[in-house]
Amino acid sequence: MTLQRDDYTAASRDAWNVSAQHHRDGEDWTKLTDGFARPGFSCLDGVETALMQDLDVVGLDVAQICCNNGRELISVRNMGAARCVGFDQSDAFLEQGRELAALAGQDVEFVCSDVYKIGPEFDGAFDLVLITIGVFGWMPDLKTFMELPARLLKPGGRLVIHEEHPIINMFDPEHERPFEPVLDYFRPEPLKEQGAIVYDGTPNETEATHWWFFHTLSDVMTAALAAGLALERFDEHPNNISGV
C-alpha cells in the first residue's frame, strides 16, 4: 500500500503524542518549568535571540508553525510580542505548552491541527511567522506546507526559519562511525523510524512508527519562493541545534 500525506501526518501525530511523557520525564522539562516560573525567561539561543531583537518583536503578532511545547513562542512573548499563536497537531505537547504559558503568566493561544488542514481563519493575521528546529523533516509535502506561512502573514510580514542544516540528514548518530556521511543527501524516499521521539536519540521500547523526509536546501528555498515569499536574508551557523 502506498502511504499518502495523511498517513504520514497521522503517524507523526501519534508518535509525538506517545513521546510527550518521555519529554515530561526528562531534565529539559524541569529546566523549562523552573525557567518559565521566572519573569522574562527565554529558551532561545544566541542566534535566535539576536534575530528576534533585530526584528524588534515588541508588539508584533507572532505565529509559530509546529510549536511543540511552545517553549520558543512563550520566550518570544516574554520578549514583548503581542498576540502569539502556536500551531501543532500533538495535543499532548500543546497541553505542556499551556502549562508552560500558565507558569510564565503569559497569554499564548495553542491551536491543535495538522498544518495541512489549517483553515483561512488565521490568514493575514501575523507580522511574524516562525518555523524552528526540526520541522521540515516531518513534512511529506514541503511545497504545500510553505503555502501556510505565506497565507498567515500580513502584507509585509516576515517568515523566520531557524532550522537544522539538511546536511545533518547524511549522518546517523547510532552508526558506529557517527561522523561519517552514510545517507544520501538527495534521498527521495523517507526514512522509517521506530520508537518514541527523544532528542538525545536514546533507544526506547515505545511503539511508534514515523517517517523523516529529506529536503535539500534548494527544496526549501524553491518551496518558499513558489509560495510567493521573497528571500531577504540567509545565514549559516556553526552550532548544532539538533539536540543530538
Ligand X SMILES: C[S@@+](CC[C@H](N)C(=O)[O-])C[C@H]1O[C@@H](n2cnc3c(N)ncnc32)[C@H](O)[C@@H]1O
In the list 14, 28, 114, 141, the residue contacting ligand X (rule: CB under 6 A) is: 114
Which of 72, 127, 164, 219 touches ligand X by CB under 6 A?
72
Cell of 123: 490568514
Q: Which residues is 159 bridged to in the sheet?
A: 129
Among 24, 71, 77, 210, binds ligand X (CB under 6 A): 71
Q: Does 96 bind ligand X (CB under 6 A)?
A: no
Sheet holding 84-88, edge to edge: 109-112, 84-88, 62-65, 126-132, 153-162
Instruction: From 131-139, 176-184, 211-219, 231-239, give the range in contact with ligand X by CB under 6 A.
Output: 131-139
Cα distance between residue 102 and residue 13, in whole Å: 24
Judge whether 50 and 161 are in contact, CB under 8 Å. Answer: no
Using CB under 6 A as the binding rule, whether residue 48 contacts ligand X is answered as no
Contacts of 73 (CB under 8 A, 6+ apart): 62, 64, 67, 84, 86, 97, 108, 130
Asked if 141 touches ligand X (CB under 6 A), the answer is: no
- Residues in binding contact with ligand X, number by CB under 6 A: 19
Q: Which residue is nearest to ligand X (CB)?
A: 134
- What kind and span of H or E run contains 130? strand 126-132
Q: Which of 110, 138, 211, 213 binds ligand X (CB under 6 A)?
A: 138
Site for ligand X, rule CB under 6 A: 9, 12, 16, 66, 68, 71-72, 88-90, 93, 114-116, 132-135, 138
